[in-house]
Each structure stands twice: as C-alpha cells, then as structure tokens.
Chain A
Amino acid sequence: MNTTNSSAEPAPARPLLEVRELMVFFENALAINGLSLEVYAGEIVGVIGSNSAGKTTLMNALSGLIIDMRTKEKRRGGERITLYGSVILNGEEITESPPSERVKKGIVLSRERHPVFSESSVLENLRIAGYLRPRAEVRDTIAYVFELFPHLARLKARRAGFMSGGEQQMLAIGMALVAQPKLLLLDEPLLGLSPLMQQAVMEAIVNLKQHYGITVLLSEQFARPVLPVIDRGYVVENGMLALAGTGAQLMENPEIKSAYFGI
C-alpha cells in the first residue's frame, strides 16, 4: 500500500515534488521523522494527521517558511531548528531555499487559520499577493478568483478582518492563486468551517485541478471531507508516515474509519 518508490523501480514520470527522508527538529524534539512523499503534476494529494502530527511543520518545510524561522531563531540566539533530508521540486533540490525563491519556482502556501491581511480590503489583499507578478496578469487572476468564489466578489471592499472564517479562507486561497502556484499547498483549509463552506472550498479545489491544472497538496485533520476528493493521501502520526494510498483505498481502511472519521 505504501506508494513510495523503491530505487529499484523507476517512477513512471518524475514527480513534481519529492520529499525524501525529511526530519525536522525543534531543539531536541522531533516534529517530522523521516517522512518521504511525492506529488505528481495534476494530482490532489492529502496529508491526514491529528493535532500536532506535524502537518504545519511539513508545510513550512515545503514552503521554506521554516528556513526563515530558523534564520530568525539563530539571530535571536534561541531555539534551534534543524533540518535533514531533502525537498526536491522538478528534480531540483530546494531544501535550503528561502520562501521567496520557492514562490518564484511555483510553490505557494496558504497557511492554516486563514491568515489574511486583516486591515486591508479584500481587493487590496489580492493585490498585495501579486507582488511578484505582472500587473495585467494579477488583474486577470483576481477576476478568476472572483469567479471561483462569487461570494468574495460581493465583499471586494470589505476589510478582511471583518469577514467570517469561511470568507477569510476563500480569500486566503485566492491570495495564494494570485501568486500563480504550480503546486498549491493548503494547510488545513477546512479548519473551523461550516459543512456548507467546507463543501464550497473542496469544490473550488477540484475546479482548480480540472480547469487550471494546478497541483494541490492539502493537509487536514479529518478525513471525511477530503477523501472523496483527493487522488492520493498520506496519513501522518507523530511526524511519521503511518499509511499511504489512493483516496478510495484509504476510505476502505478500517483504521482510518475509526481514527479520522470523527468530527
């Protein structure tokens, strides 16, 4: 059931993203323990794990935020973050690249708990997100984001901090899209959303894949809303890979049913 390719049999095509034996330490505590996974272009891949399983740490390692955190901790002379293993995008090693370089290469993360610029309007949030992109393209993407989330279009001038969690989540995804991801990382995009909002967000994610060929890696605590949508999933426990398989395989698995189908 483990889909990790052994070195003996070559992968059918080179994965877009490859994580090899990743380990992340905070001081002496191991947050990610020898995790390997891959994401192929055009897939929606899920990472399922309960609280403090290491989902956010993984996302930070992929987006490069952890490199920035490490630099800042070092300056402060405090807690040490250590990284082992490698993160490979399109065959290129990016384990040590800072976030801005990864955004330029097409990895964009939407952080957990829908972090938006709360004092700025919806439109301004999206414009800030277009920092690295040409103006005309930003305008087009913003139009597309409003198509994807028609609800957001009605709130254009609303200050982001005054919107509901679900609305902020839509905006956060929209902002990531403006940065033109090839690989979109979504850290717990359904956290704290009503079932109706959850459904809207999942539909949008499928839409991204189908119409725009954007590859998505998303993390989630609960398997129920994401399993029907993802192509493949990895279950992570205590920073280690516990299970991997296609969405359908995982849905059949009795362990998953008991552990991750609760609400």
Chain B
Amino acid sequence: MFLGTIIYGLLNSAVLAVMAIGFNLTFGISGVANFAYGAMYIFSAYLSWTLFNLLELPYWLAVCASIPTTMALGALMYRFVLLRVRGQALSEVIATFGIGLAILELFNYLGFVGFEYTLPVLIDDSIMIGDTMVDWQRILVTGVAGLLVAGLWAFTHYTRMGLAFRGIAQDERTALTLGIESDRIAMLSVSLGCGLAALAATVIIPLGSISPSEGYEVLIKALAVCIIGGLGSTGGVIVASFLIGFAERFTDTYISSHWTMIVSLAAILLVLGFKPSGLFGRQKELEERI
C-alpha cells in the first residue's frame, strides 16, 4: 500500500503541476491573476466534447481546434476587458472572476452536467507497477507535466518571444526602451496561459468528467499550488505540486479521504503564516521565476 501511495502521490503531483502551470505563467510575466482560468479549462473541454460528439470531428481535430479557440478567447478577454483596468490588481481579479463566473454558470444553465460529458482517454489501458494498477492516461499526464516544464524553460531562455517575456517580467520600462511592447506581451501571456489551461483539460478531463464545478475546483487547486510555491515561480509550482500531491494521497490512504481538501487548505495557511510570499516567492529564488 505504501508503494501504491507513493506512485499515486507522484501521479497526483503531475496533475496538479499541469493544472497550475498556465495560471503561474500568466502571473509571472504580466502580473495578471487570471481568475477565469478554471472557466477556460472547462470551456475548452466542452468545446472539444461538442466538436467530437455533436459535429463528429475526429478527436485530434477537435482538440486542435479547441486549444487555439481558448487562446483566442483569452486574448479577447485581455484586449477588451483587462486592458482597461490594467495595473489595478483588484479590478483585474474582479473582471476575470466575473468572466469566469459567467462562462461556468452559462454551462450550468445550459445543463451540461452529467457523466456523459467527458473526453476520451488516449490509451485505454493500464499497467501494473508492483501490485498497483496505473492507467496510461495518468502516465501520459506525468509525461506532459515533464515536457511542459522543460518546454517552457527552453521557450523562456532561447526564443525571442520567451526572452521578451522574461524582460517584461523583470523591468517593464527597460523592456519598453528596447522595443518590446508590454501590452502585446501581456496579451500573449494571458492567451498562452489559457492555452495551457486547455491543454491541461485535454489530458486531465478523461480521468473524470466535465462539469462547471470542476472549473471552480481547478481554479482553487491552481491557486493553492501557486500560493504555496510563490506566485510566478516555476520552481515553486513544481515543489508545491509535489507537496500537495503527496500530502493529499497520504491523507487519503492513512487518514480518510474526508480530510483531503483540508490538507491543501492547511498547507496554504501554514505557508502564508510563515512565508507570505510562498516557498519560492519573489524575494527568494528570483531566478526560478519565469
């Protein structure tokens, strides 16, 4: 049972990291806390579902359409709503949360709830590790988590756009004097964050089902990971995902699944109490931040 808990802790951590990385990226670059993040996650899932089930497009095509659509939605949200309240953190939070609420409650209203709303797994099979059964989809999520972290690191260190992201994140005015347009970069960072939410939905939703309440849960989990890790820090996301991921599974196994949610909330309070900027907050490991 111990080995099984370790394995599931690892897989759970990967799920959390994939859920949180887009939220973290947007915040790290432009300082926008995108509270519509969970709604974007659910939006892309419903879109894929609709394209696949109602329009009967091939699944890969449905996914290839819904990820860019979600990115476009994020860009539009920035251009037409966020841009007007840019720089006022509270207004940004209220605006994005309002948009998220509207999207999720619309799906609720339309009655998109139930177990038939799910996305297909990529490989419908599982393997035994020791005496623990692990489905391939979870292994896929773990692979995606690794690729995302490596890919984003390479992106922000070696591409023109990624370097501009890092410039804006560090000193906006200096970046402006070098011809980097801060509004354009911020729009791209919001859009890219939404795209990562869509990608996360594509690989994680097949483990459960699509529902508006899942949207709120994803937002809360992403927030928990980012707050514990230190908003904007990639290293923080990784460490915090492991921390919460393992803590949840061990609570499940050795205490009771009743307490699972409490564990991450307690972890947030604990970290905020001792280190308000998070484990890898800005003051500390500055380099880890994208």
A interface residues, Cβ below 8 angstroms from B: 63, 65, 68, 72, 75-76, 98-100, 103-104, 108-111, 115-120, 124, 127-132, 159, 161, 175-176, 178-179
Contacts and interface: CB of A to CB of B under 8 A. Distances in A.
A85 B268 CA distance: 54
B281 to A, nearest CB: 14
Interface in B79-93: 83-88
A124 B174 CA distance: 14
Contacts of A98: 181
Contacts of B160: 130-131
Contacts of A103: 177-179
A189 to B, nearest CB: 14
Contacts of A159: 287
Task: Please name the 6 residue pairs, one residue from A and one from B, whose CB atoms are nearest each other, closest first.
Answer: A103-B179, A128-B167, A117-B170, A132-B179, A115-B174, A119-B286
A75 B84 CA distance: 6
Interface in B152-178: 157, 160, 163-164, 166-167, 170-171, 173-178
A176 B157 CA distance: 20
Nearest to A159: B287
Interface string B265-290: 00000000000000000000011010
Interface centre among A76, A100, A118, A130, by most B CB within 10 Å? A100
A108 B160 CA distance: 19
A72 B178 contact: no
24 contacts: A75-B84, A75-B86, A75-B87, A99-B176, A99-B177, A100-B176, A100-B179, A103-B178, A108-B177, A108-B178, A116-B171, A117-B166, A117-B170, A117-B174, A118-B171, A118-B286, A119-B287, A120-B170, A128-B163, A128-B164, A128-B175, A131-B160, A131-B180, A179-B178
A124 B157 contact: yes
B44 to A, nearest CB: 29
Give the one of A75, A109, A128, A159 with max B CB within 10 A.
A128
A120 B166 CA distance: 8
